[in-house]
Amino acid sequence: MLLGMDDAQQADLRLALKDVAHVVRSKTSADQIAAEYKSLNPGAAIVSVHSDTPALFGIIHNISAAGGIVIVVSETKDPELILRSMRAGAREFVLESDHEELRLAVRTHAKSTVGAGELGQVVTIFGSKGGVGATAIATNLAGAMQRRNLRVCLVDLDLYLGDVLAFLDIPGSYSITDVLANMNRLDRDLLASSVTKHRSGINVLAQSSKVEEAEQIKGPDVAALLEFLRRNYDFVIVDGVRGFDEISLAALDGSQHVFMTLTQDVPAVRNGQRCLELFGRLQYDQGRVKLLLNRYVKASKITIEVVGETLGQPLTHTISNDFLLLIDAINRGVLLTEVAPRARITQDIEGLIPHLLPERAPRMRRQSLLGTLFGKKVVDGTT
């Protein structure tokens, strides 16, 4: 929510924040602002202050005292203004012209506006072939969401050879089988205290090393698990979905968003074509499957336009190629947001988040994907 700005300033900040937040402008008079803030309940207020706007410090104080988050922007880093803003309860003071810093402040401080009681979004990162970077994207997307104070659970559905625990360098204490067995008893707090946690705060669910347990998990279990998790998290990020076996189909069917991930090489694009064809035959909604070009290199002979033409739709999401940074993070079990928050690759991954916020989510299709393929119904209560 933007406060204390003229039209030009507002337009400028709106543009700066377009990939980071949904921006609204306060329309009321100064004395009504605290009440409006309460009723709109935005993730944060961005207040523009000058030395001749003393009333705004009172507003900052009122919003902060009511539990709101205030980020102050100003033309100059005047020590007096900084001091007054901080005294009034502002979390951050940013130069108006420093859009990068403002985006970072919003990402760091703004609260998620995904309301309690709403269902979270299941996002599957689906590689068009092996090795395209699905796990790297899934783990770091989860990290970026966590950093924005979104409640996120990262699920590794590769029940035998999953990589997520290794990428995050954590032991898998509580497994998918454990959650399935206790789903009826677990409330949000109990679940959060049971699942494995990365130090960034991401909750992680993977399979234990017991092969016989993995063998017991079937499509309907996966469907039930994802439904359960979306009642408890803002986002459920799913990795380890390969091809179109029963488990994969249940995961795809239970996802509101599928990022089909490709790279600029013939096998990945060719497989991508086949996957899209299958998604089409299975009557996916327009909008659920998004194409994601990973390791994007502009100079590649297989250009982004060629990939888009081959697949019959333009590619709007790209992630830069940065092998050295990424492999170092993977080998150390750390997230890109922790070690290189400003790197291009990190920002590209963070840039996916606004496309996943609920208002942009496609409507759930009533018909089940599994049902379409196998002529049977998924036990998830929605079919």
Ligand X SMILES: Nc1ncnc2c1ncn2[C@@H]1O[C@H](COP(=O)(O)OP(=O)(O)OP(=O)(O)O)[C@@H](O)[C@H]1O
**Tokens matching residue 66:** 């009511």
Among 186, 130, 185, CA closest to 163: 130
Applying CB under 6 A, among 189, 323, 375, 381 the residue interacting with ligand X is 323
Interface with ligand X in residues 62-121 (CB under 6 A): none
Applying CB under 6 A, among 25, 40, 65, 131 the residue interacting with ligand X is 131
Please tell me whether residue 322 binds Mg ion under the rule CB under 5 A. no
**Tokens matching residue 253:** 């069917």
**Tokens matching residue 303:** 């250009």
Nearer to ligand X, 59 or 268 (CB): 268
DSSP class of residue 209 equals S
- CA pair distance 37, 45, nearest whole angstrom: 8
148 interface partner picked from ligand X, Mg ion, none, CB below 5 to 8 A per type = none
Contact 132, 241 (CB under 8 A): no
The H-assigned helical ranges of 66-98 are 79-88
Please tell me whether residue 156 binds ligand X under the rule CB under 6 A. no
The H-assigned helical ranges of the chain are 7-16, 33-40, 55-65, 79-88, 99-109, 134-147, 164-168, 176-182, 188-194, 211-216, 219-230, 246-253, 266-281, 304-311, 323-332, 336-339, 344-350, 369-374
Applying CB under 6 A, among 120, 127, 143, 272 the residue interacting with ligand X is 127
Applying CB under 6 A, among 62, 124, 256, 294 the residue interacting with ligand X is 294
The interface region with ligand X, picked from 44-52, 144-152, 319-327, 356-364 by CB under 6 A, is 319-327
Nearer to ligand X, 118 or 245 (CB): 245
Interface with Mg ion in residues 123-142 (CB under 5 A): 134-135
Nearer to ligand X, 155 or 330 (CB): 330
Contact 21, 106 (CB under 8 A): yes
Applying CB under 6 A, among 92, 163, 234, 253 the residue interacting with ligand X is 163
CB of 295 to Mg ion, least distance (A): 14
CB of 162 to ligand X, least distance (A): 8
Please tell me whether residue 236 binds ligand X under the rule CB under 6 A. no
Nearer to ligand X, 43 or 162 (CB): 162
Query: Number of residues in contact with ligand X, rule: CB under 6 A?
Result: 19
Among 69, 5, 97, CA closest to 60: 69
- CA pair distance 12, 27, nearest whole angstrom: 18
CB of 122 to ligand X, least distance (A): 18
Binding site for ligand X (CB under 6 A): 127, 130-136, 163, 294-295, 319, 321-323, 326-327, 330, 345
Binding site for Mg ion (CB under 5 A): 134-135, 163
